[in-house]
């Protein structure tokens, strides 16, 4: 076993060159841009920084963005689990087509997705024309934000859960049935704990995508200040006004929020894995 592990470790070049290339690439793609953002935003001083990040429009955009992203990630957590279960456990005609369509938000430009959603859920759209007479604004509202963030985040949950489901032995469920468990008890106590780390990973990715989404939401949200304006749009507006430092300051806040949320989800994943191991 030790020789096998050593052989796998030596497939790539030595540890030193591999580590150096990894750190260099990580620094070039991630660390340097983030460091430049921090320097730009913090260079204006504490008073101006606080003024930029605590304005009414900025604070409202934080609330709108975070609440909408959390709601969309929660919806995707449930819907993504159901879709992954359907694709893995229920053979049906056209399953390969449905499986391919799941990745459409990955390949489709976000702006195109936003235009398509607006065309469907807008006042004159197929669904919007039926919803608006009932008083349900499916576009240019918080519902539109939820739809856009759900659209772009669903594949992350499905693709995180699907491989785990494929490797999950159906005999686990059969054993639970044999012991007298109901279908729900079998799922809740035998299957869900195994899927939880993957589900949390997909939830975190969908949440992060929703927080940073721009192209899909600006078309369907209406961009109403203090109501449906997301933080990414506030940053863009500041850039259009040549307020680069203010834009960087607001971006730093969202960067910190995204990192804290991802850290919290990763800690939950670690506890879930430790619980399973125990």
Domain ranges (residues) in the chain: 13-43, 46-277
- Weakest-pLDDT range from 63-72, 154-163, 181-190: 181-190
Give buried/exposed letters for 146-169 (b at 16+ CB in 10 A, else e).
bbbbbbbbbbbbbbbbbebbeebe
Residues in the chain: 278
Give the pLDDT confidence of 123-145 residue by residue, as tens digits.
888 899 889 888 888 889 899 99
What is the percentage of the chain residues whose pLDDT exceeds 90?
32
Contacts of 183 (CB under 8 A, 6+ apart): none
Give the pLDDT confidence of 40-91 residue by residue, as tens digits.
888 888 888 898 899 999 999 999 999 999 999 999 999 999 999 999 888 8
Q: Tell me the two tokens of residue 71.
A: 């709601």
Closest CA to 138 of 232, 226, 222, 225: 222
Alpha-carbon distances of 15 from 4, 26, 57, 147, 166, rounded to whole Å? 17, 16, 49, 46, 33
Separation CA 239–CA 234 (nearest Å):
9
Which CATH number applies to 46-277: 3.40.50.720, 1.10.3720.10, 3.40.50.10470, 3.40.47.10? 1.10.3720.10
Separation CA 126–CA 118 (nearest Å):
10
Separation CA 170–CA 181 (nearest Å):
15
């Amino acid at each position: 076993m030790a020789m096998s592990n050593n052989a796998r470790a030596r497939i790539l070049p030595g540890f030193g060159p591999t580590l150096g290339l990894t750190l260099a690439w990580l620094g070039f793609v991630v660390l340097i841009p983030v460091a430049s953002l921090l320097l730009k935003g913090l260079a204006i001083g504490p008073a101006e920084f606080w003024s930029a990040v605590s304005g009414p429009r900025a604070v409202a955009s934080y609330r709108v963005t975070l609440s909408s992203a959390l709601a969309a990630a929660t919806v995707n957590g449930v819907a993504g689990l159901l879709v992954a279960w359907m694709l893995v456990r229920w053979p049906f005609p056209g399953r390969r087509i449905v499986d391919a369509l799941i990745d459409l938000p990955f390949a489709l430009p976000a702006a195109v997705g936003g235009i398509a959603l607006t065309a469907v859920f807008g006042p004159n759209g197929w669904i919007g024309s039926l919803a608006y007479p009932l008083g349900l604004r499916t576009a240019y509202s918080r519902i539109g934000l939820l739809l856009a963030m759900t659209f772009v985040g669903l594949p992350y949950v499905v693709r995180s859960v699907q491989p785990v489901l494929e490797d999950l032995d159906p005999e686990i469920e059969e054993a639970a049935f044999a012991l007298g468990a109901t279908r729900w008890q079998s799922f809740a106590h035998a299957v869900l704990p195994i899927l939880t780390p993957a589900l949390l990973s997909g939830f975190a990715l969908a949440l992060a995508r929703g927080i940073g989404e721009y192209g899909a939401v600006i078309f369907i949200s209406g961009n109403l200040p203090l109501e449906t304006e997301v933080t990414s749009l506030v940053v863009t507006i500041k850039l259009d006004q040549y307020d680069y430092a203010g834009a960087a300051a607001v971006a730093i806040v969202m960067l910190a929020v995204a990192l804290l949320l991802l850290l919290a989800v990763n800690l939950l994943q670690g506890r879930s894995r430790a619980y399973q191991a125990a």
